[in-house]
Structure 1
Amino acid sequence: MSNFFYRKWMRTKRGFFEIMEVLMAKKIKVGVIAIVAMILMFFDWRMTLGWLIGWACLLTLGFFREKFYAIILDEDQFTVGKYVRYIIFVFVILWLPLLLAFMFPNAINPYALAASYLIDRLILFMSGLFTKENKHGTE
C-alpha cells in the first residue's frame, strides 16, 4: 500500500516541477519581451508598439490554443463548427494586426510586428530541437 502512495506522490511531484518549468519559461519569455520593448523605445515608439502588439497577439493565441486543444482531446465537445471558428480566430488574430500595421505605418511599425512573429516561430523551432519527445507513450 505504501508503494502506491509513493508512486502517486512521485507523479505529483514530477508534475509540479514540469508545471513550474513551463511557468518559468513563460516568465522568462515575457521578461525578454519587456526588455526588448524598453530598448526599442529608445529608437522609435512605433517599433515598440509593433513589437508589443505582435507579442500580445501571439500570447493571446497561445492561451486560446491550449483551451482549444483541450476541446479537441474531448471528443464529446468537439464539433466542426468550433474548429472552423478557431481557424478564423487564428487568421484574424495573426493577420489583422499585420494588415493594420502596413496600412498605418506611421502608428505601428509593421516590420517590428512581423519580427515578433518570426522570432516566436524561431524560438519554437529551436526549443523543439533540444527537447526529447516521447514517441511511444512510455515513461
Structure 2
Amino acid sequence: MSAPEPAGAGARRPSRQRSAVLALLDDLDGFRSAQDLHALLRDRGDPVGLATVYRALQALVDDGQLDVLRSDDGEAAYRRCSPVHHHHLVCRSCGTTVEVTDPPVERWAARIAAEHGFADVQHQVEVFGTCTDCSRRG
C-alpha cells in the first residue's frame, strides 16, 4: 500500500461539486458552515446534496485549499484562504476574519515543540474578539 499524498499535492481528481464549492467560496467573505454553503449552492440552481457538500469541503480542506474553523459548539465553518501559513483574527459578532502572520508565534511553536521532543509539528492559532464596526454598534 502506498503512502497518501501530502495535503495540497492535488491527490484528488477535480469534481464538479468541489469546483462549485470553490467558486461559491471565492465570492464570499468570512467563514461559512456547510449548511450555509449548501443553501447558497441550491439558491444558485446547483442541485448538490448536503452530504456531497460535506465530502467536497473535507476534500478541499485535506488538499489545503480551505481553512476550517470550529465554533465553541463544535460546528465547522469553511473559508478559502491564501496558500501561505497564517492565522485568523475573527470577530465573535459578525464573523469578519483577517488573516495574520506572526513570526514570533512560529518561533514559539517551534521552541515549545523542541523542548518537549516533538517533531513534524503543525499548529493553528485563532484569535477571537470584536471588530471595530461591531464594537461601535455595541
TM bucket, shorter chain = under 0.3
Query: Taking CA–CA contacts closer than 8 Å with sequence separation of 6 or more, which of the two structures ends up with the larger relative contact order?
Result: 1
Larger Rg: 1
TM-score (norm 2): 0.26
Which structure's residues are more often strand, by fraction?
2
Which structure's residues are more often helix, by fraction?
1
